[in-house]
Amino acid sequence: MGLFKFSRSRSLWMMHFCTGCGAIEMPPTMTSRYDMERFGIIPMATPRQSDLLLVTGYLTVKTLKRVVRSYEQMAEPKYVIAFGSCTMRGGMYWDSYNTVKELDLYIPVDIYINGCMPRPEAIIDAFIKLRDMIDKGEANAWKNYRDNLDWYKQNQAKVFDINKWSAKI
């Protein structure tokens, strides 16, 4: 294990993109009951300072734009944890006209947490798994985004107009 990997895996700064209902599981995870800071994970205000993007629930098309934009602003290496059934297969919004069903079509996801909603134990478990993956050099979804940018952009273009969006936000 290299020094860089060791340092990165133990000082993850997290931007939690609080969409949907999953955000309510974050306060207990952050505060003294479950205390994620013992793993070196702290909440961070802006994407440019963060290593880890937490998507905490279902995404509408409008929100997805902001997620992609936040994700692209983050400095590499960057990691994504997606929360709950909604980010995987749409969850209870599987037939909704305006929610994104599978998040990993649009941005690469390192770890999905199952559940509706996942308990803080599950979130801590995902953090530890991510730490181990970084240690072993397996958390490489961000490289995937760089290598397959065309594929991701193609999928994004299916749900929103990627040519217009930067001017609009």
Please name the residues in contact with 117: beta carbons below 8 A apart, sequence gap of 6 or more: 21, 22, 24, 25, 57, 83, 84
Among 32, 95, 150, 166, interactor with another protein by CB under 8 A: 95
Among 25, 41, 50, 65, interactor with another protein by CB under 8 A: 65
Stretch of residues binding another protein (CB under 8 A), selected from 11-19, 77-85, 129-137, 155-163? 155-163
**With binding defined as CB under 8 A, does residue 158 bind another protein?**
yes
Indicate the residue among 111 and 159 with the shorter CB distance to another protein.
159
Cα torsion for 44, 45, 51, 52, to the nearest 10°?
Answer: 80
User: Residue written as tokens 């400095």?
Assistant: 75
Is the CB of residue 12 less than 8 Å from the CB of residue 79? Answer: yes
**With binding defined as CB under 8 A, does residue 90 bind another protein?**
yes
**With binding defined as CB under 8 A, does residue 167 bind another protein?**
no
Write down the least CB distance from residue 19 to another protein, Å.
14
Strands 79-83 and 111-113: parallel
Write down the least CB distance from residue 11 to another protein, Å.
30
Q: Restricting to residues 102-131, name those near another protein by CB under 8 A.
A: 102
In sequence order, what are the beta bridge partners of 60?
A: 99
Is the CB of residue 110 less than 8 Å from the CB of residue 80? Answer: yes
Among 3, 45, 76, 97, interactor with another protein by CB under 8 A: 97
Is the CB of residue 40 less than 8 Å from the CB of residue 10? Answer: yes
**With binding defined as CB under 8 A, does residue 168 bind another protein?**
yes
Q: Restricting to residues 44-63, name those near another protein by CB under 8 A.
A: 60-62
SS3 state at 54: strand
- Binding footprint of another protein on the chain (CB under 8 A): 60-62, 65, 89-90, 94-98, 100-102, 158-161, 164-165, 168
